Amino acid sequence: MRKPIFALVDCNNFYASCERVFDPKLAGRPVVVLSNNDGCVVARSNEAKALGIPMGIPFFEVRQTIEKHGVLALSSNYTLYADMSGRVMETLSHFTPHIEVYSIDEAFLDLSGIPEDPSACGRRMRQTVRQWTGIPVSIGIGPTKTLAKAANKLAKTSRKADGVLDLTDSPWLEEALRRIEVRDVWGVGRQICKKLKAAGIHTALDLRGANLDWIKNQFGVQGVRTVSELRGQRCYELEENPPAKKGITVSRGFGRPITALVPLQEATSLYAARAGEKLRAEGLAAGVMSIFIMTSRFAEKSKRYLRHCAVPFDTATDDTQDLIAAAVSAVEQLYRAGYEYKKSGVMLLELVPRDRAQRGLFDSKDRDRSRRLMATLDQINRTRSVGIQWAAEGIEKPWQTRFTRKTPRYTTSWADLPQIR
DNA sequence: TCTGGGGTCCTAGGACCC
DNA sequence: TCTGGGGTCCTAGGACCC
């Protein structure tokens, strides 16, 4: 098999660029796009970046800067971004069928089957995407995905690269890696970065030269893969046919805290319907639905509250009515004490292919898993209902298994929890 | 007191990505 | 006052089976 040549095509400031396509007056002006409820900055034009507005910052923290410099702050429009993403991906597929859509604004391509020089091909892609969709992209090329990512990083910032950089067999590879901070390497996050820096590893080049045994010892196989990929040894392939999803979540924060049941039910109904759409689009059916309601993550401890409830389906379903009915009744069970709820959501779990579910083949393994999940939850509810003192982690555990990121570390003691009849 | 070994599955926690 | 949303993978250790 031919060695792949990976290209990473990444849309520049994607959401901000989408907005500009439809409102050319925004060109040259600093623009930021805000998250749900205009809570945080989730995209910035180059002009906004130059003003020092960080990614992900709460809007109220940069309001002054925004007003002072006349930054345009726009609410997000995900329907628009999804549509634009589709157009960009479609354009790229004219160059090669070997494409992995990696996120809403990124795709990996394998250029090895294209006779043209990869760099020249990259320039043509860049120009074509710009022409056909109005979206500016940067392209990094390399023998591994990690190196393509690294090349992309420099393609964005280097004037000389002008949006396209090929590091395959490049005499500049070392110099390029020297210029990339270790925290910008694909696979290096906050925690790993901290440890690397403590060990004197500051750049991608340092990381490439790190002792592999030490890396394995400190960071496990993922670390070894990252370093190997920096050395040009391929650990990740192009995934043209991504595996089926393992869970689907739809959740939103409310603009302001709510205390009534009806709006909670209205919101979760909508999420259930939306989750159903996603489910059908993936050709899946759900064996279990989990619903949660919670207070603000930032509330003081005594005012925090989080509960969730899992509902098993006899037969895995993708039917909107089933999903909504389950969500509405579950929320009612969860809604007990007069807390100020800030967020709710619906998760679909134990996903199986729709055709199998329709034939009633929700097999023993699926059933076993669902039963176990339910048993865990039952136990918690039993414990609560008889008023036995239970550890704070009791309620957290089933939650944490499903929400590993940004897990609310609620330390509510049992005494703080509302009574259950 | 001595008290196998290997395989699989699952959970909980910790990291990462966009 | 205001603080996004949605994913994946890896590992250690325990339960359980033969």
Task: List pLDDT tens digits, range A11-61.
Answer: 999 999 999 999 999 999 999 999 999 999 999 999 999 999 999 999 999
**Does residue A380 register a pLDDT over 80?**
no
Contact A276, A318 (CB under 8 A): yes
Residues 6+ positions from A248 with CB-CB distance below 8 Å: A275, A278, A279, A282, A284, A286, A347, A348, A351
Measure, in angstroms, how far nucleotide C9 C1' is from residue A243 CA.
Answer: 13
CB half-sphere exposure, A89, CA atoms < 13 A: 18
Q: Which is nearest to A101 in space by CA: A185, A8, A234, A17?
A: A8
Q: Is the CB of A302 under 7 A from strand C?
A: no
Q: What are phi and psi of A141, to 5 degrees?
A: -125, 135
Rg (CA), chain A: 24
Length of chain A: 421
The mean per-residue pLDDT over the stretch A372-390 comes to: 39
Measure, in angstroms, how far nucleotide B14 C1' is from residue A212 CA.
Answer: 21
Q: How far apart are CA A108 and CA A103, in angstroms?
A: 10
Q: How far apart are CA A71 and CA A44, in angstroms?
A: 10
**Does residue A420 register a pLDDT over 80?**
no
**Dihedral angle at the C-alpha atoms of A58, A59, A64, A70, nearest 10 degrees?**
140
**Does residue A326 register a pLDDT over 50?**
yes
**CA of A350: how far to CAs of A252, A285, A288, A390, in Å?**
22, 8, 6, 28
Q: Is the CB of A190 under 7 A from strand B?
A: yes
> pTM to 2 decimals?
0.87
Query: What is the structure's pLDDT at A390?
Result: 25
Q: Is the CB of A247 under 7 A from strand C?
A: yes
Query: What is the structure's pLDDT at A306?
Result: 83
Q: How far apart are CA A211 and CA A200, in angstroms?
A: 12
Query: What is the structure's pLDDT at A412?
Result: 31
Query: What is the structure's pLDDT at A392?
Result: 29
**Average pLDDT taken over every residue of chain A:** 86
Q: Is the CB of A369 under 7 A from strand B?
A: yes
Q: Residue type at A398?
A: P
Least confident of A74-88, A233-247, A363-377: A363-377
Q: How far apart are CA A150 and CA A168, in angstroms?
A: 12
Q: Which nucleotide is nearest to A40 (CA to C1')?
A: C4
Least confident of A100-109, A215-224, A286-295, A354-363: A354-363
**pLDDT grade, residue A371 (50/70/90)?**
low
From the number of C-beta atoms within 10 Å of its C-beta (0-12, 13-18, 19+), residue A65 rates as: middle
The mean per-residue pLDDT over the stretch A110-114 comes to: 96
Contact A346, A275 (CB under 8 A): yes
**Percent of chain A's residues with pLDDT above 90:** 73
Q: Which nucleotide is nearest to A196 (CA to C1')?
A: B15
**Does residue A417 register a pLDDT over 50?**
no
